[in-house]
Amino acid sequence: MNTIKNIRTLLFAAAIGIAGTLITSNTYAQVDTVIKKVGNTGKKVGHKTASVAVKGASKITDKTYKGKQGPNGETVYIDKMDRKYIVDDKGKKVYLKKSEISDKPE
């Protein structure tokens, strides 16, 4: 009788332990997913902020190339050294060749 009670207790403890492990591992997976989503969103916000800042600074300090556009319809800027560039989605200046600049459609 005593051994049956010990076996029941042992099985009950094992079931609780397994359930706790499953719940904990699932929670860690959910937290990891949330952290990745927050990190990706933060990265997107940072890139957009940088892009807007560089475009704003370019409008103030450099000239806009009127009537011309970049390869994907972007605004083309001209710096002090007469180099033509666009600002990409990450806020970096991408210098263009003459063949990459086209006329804006009217």
**Mean local confidence (pLDDT), 61-74:** 92
Q: Would you state the structure tokens that stand for residue 39, as one six-digit string? A: 């990190």
> How far separated are the first and last CA of the chain, in Å rounded?
94
pLDDT digits (tens, 9 = 90+) for 3-54: 766 777 777 776 776 666 656 555 666 767 777 777 778 788 888 888 888 8
Q: Are 61 and 53 in contact (CB under 8 A)?
A: no
Give yes or no for residue 1 having a pLDDT over 60.
Answer: no
Give yes or no for residue 82 having a pLDDT over 90.
Answer: yes
